Amino acid sequence: MPNPLKYNKKFDELNEEEKKLLELNKKTIADFVEQSSSISDVNYATRNAHAKTYAVAKGIFWIEPDIPESLQPFFDKEKFDLTIRFSNAQLKIKNSKKDIPAYGFAVQIKDENGVLLANYPLVNFPLFPIQSVSTFLKLFTAINQLYMKQWRSLFPMCIQMVKMIPSLFTGDMLRNIIKLIGKRNDFILSFDYYSVGAFRLGDQMIKIKLCPQSVDKNFGRKQKVKDSLKNYLQTSDFAADVLIQICHDLKDQPINRLNVEWKNAPFIKIGEVRINKNSLLDSHNCTTELLSFNPFESKIFFQPVGKIQKLRDEAYKVSVQTRRKINKLLHGKNG
C-alpha cells in the first residue's frame, strides 16, 4: 500500500469571502436556536441540525486484535466506552409517523477515566451534495432564515439550490441517491453509516464507515422510527463493524470533494461497535438531550479535515453556546 498522505492545515483554510459568509451564517444559527423551541413546538432550545433525537444509548468500541501496526498507537486499549445518539437530520422536530430517511449515528468515545477522546457524527448517506463552501453557506443561511419565517430568503435559497445541481450529477451521487430511495422504508439500524468528510488519525487522514451485522431491514416497519429503534435496543444486542479508508492520493481520495467516493483505498476493519440490550439512556433528560457531539472537541489528532468540515466547527460552537444559554433561562440547567 502507498504511503499515507500527511495532514496539512491548508486543507481547512477558508478564503476571505468564505470567512465573511461564515460570520453571517453564525448569526442566523444563533437566531434559529433562540427561536427553536417555538419552531419545533418543544420546551427547550434544539440543535440547528439533527434536532430530533430518537434514542441515546451506551455502547462499547471493541478494537480488532490484529489491526495494522501503524494504527496501534491510537487504539492502545482492548475497548473504549461509547455514548451513541440516534437522530434525524431535519432542523425542525415534528411528531409525524413518517420521517425522511436521513439518519444520524453520532458516537462519543471516552477512555476508562471518562476523558473524551473523539466525537464522530456519522450519517446514513456517504456523500455531501455541495462542493462550493460559499454556496453551502448562502444556502444554509437562507434555510435558517426561512424557518424563522423570513420569507425574503426564499428567492436566495432557490438560487443556491440551482447552483448545487451540477454537484448532484456525479455517478457516485446518483448511485447512492437511487440506493437510498430503495432503502427509504428500511429499519434505521440496518443502514451503513459514514463520516462523509475526512478525519485525522495522527498525521494520516481517514474516512469512516460503520456496517451493521445481521440486522433485519424490515424490523418494526409499521412503527414510528423512534418506537421501532427503542423496541430493538430493549430486546436485542446490536453490533457493527468499524471500517476506515486511508488517504494516500488526492486524485483518488479528495479531501474537499465530498460528492465523490474515495477510490483505490481498501477498507480496513479496526473494531466493532456493540450495544448490549437495555443500554438505553433517558433521551428526555435535559442532560442527555444536550450532550455535545462536536467533532472539534476531540483530541487534536482525531479532528475533522477539510473546508466544509471547518464550517461545522464554528456552527457547533455557536449552536451549543446558544442552546446552553437559552436552556439555562428556560430550565435553570447548563447544556
Answer yes or no: are the C-beta atoms of 26 and 311 closer than 8 Å. Answer: no
Burial class of 276 by CB neighbour count within 10 A (0 to 12, 13 to 18, 19+): middle
Locate the DSSP E strands across 33-162.
Answer: 52-63, 79-88, 103-110, 116-123
Least reliable range by pLDDT among 34-38, 153-157, 291-295: 34-38
pLDDT beyond 60 at 36: no
The residue with greater pLDDT, 167 or 189, is: 189
Scan for cell 435559497, then name that residue. Answer: 157
pLDDT of residue 48: 46
* CA atoms 148, 327, 90, 11: torsion sign: positive
Q: Shortest CA distance to 46 belongs to which of 67, 29, 71?
A: 29
pLDDT of residue 91: 56
User: pLDDT band at 258, cuts 50/70/90?
Assistant: very high
Per-residue pLDDT, averaged over 294-310, amounts to 91
Q: Alpha-carbon distance 244 to 228, whole Å? A: 29
Least reliable range by pLDDT among 251-255, 309-313, 316-320: 316-320
Q: Alpha-carbon distance 228 to 217, whole Å? A: 11
pLDDT beyond 90 at 321: no
Per-residue pLDDT, averaged over 131-152, amounts to 76
User: pLDDT band at 182, cuts 50/70/90?
Assistant: very high
Least reliable range by pLDDT among 65-69, 233-237, 274-278, 301-305: 65-69
Q: Could you give the 3-state DSSP secondary structure of residue 96?
A: coil
Q: What share of the chain is helix, strand, coil (3-state, %, to 5)?
A: 40, 20, 40
To the nearest 10°, the Cα dihedral for 202, 208, 214, 215? Answer: 120
Q: Could you give the 3-state DSSP secondary structure of residue 153?
A: helix
Least reliable range by pLDDT among 19-28, 219-228, 317-326: 317-326
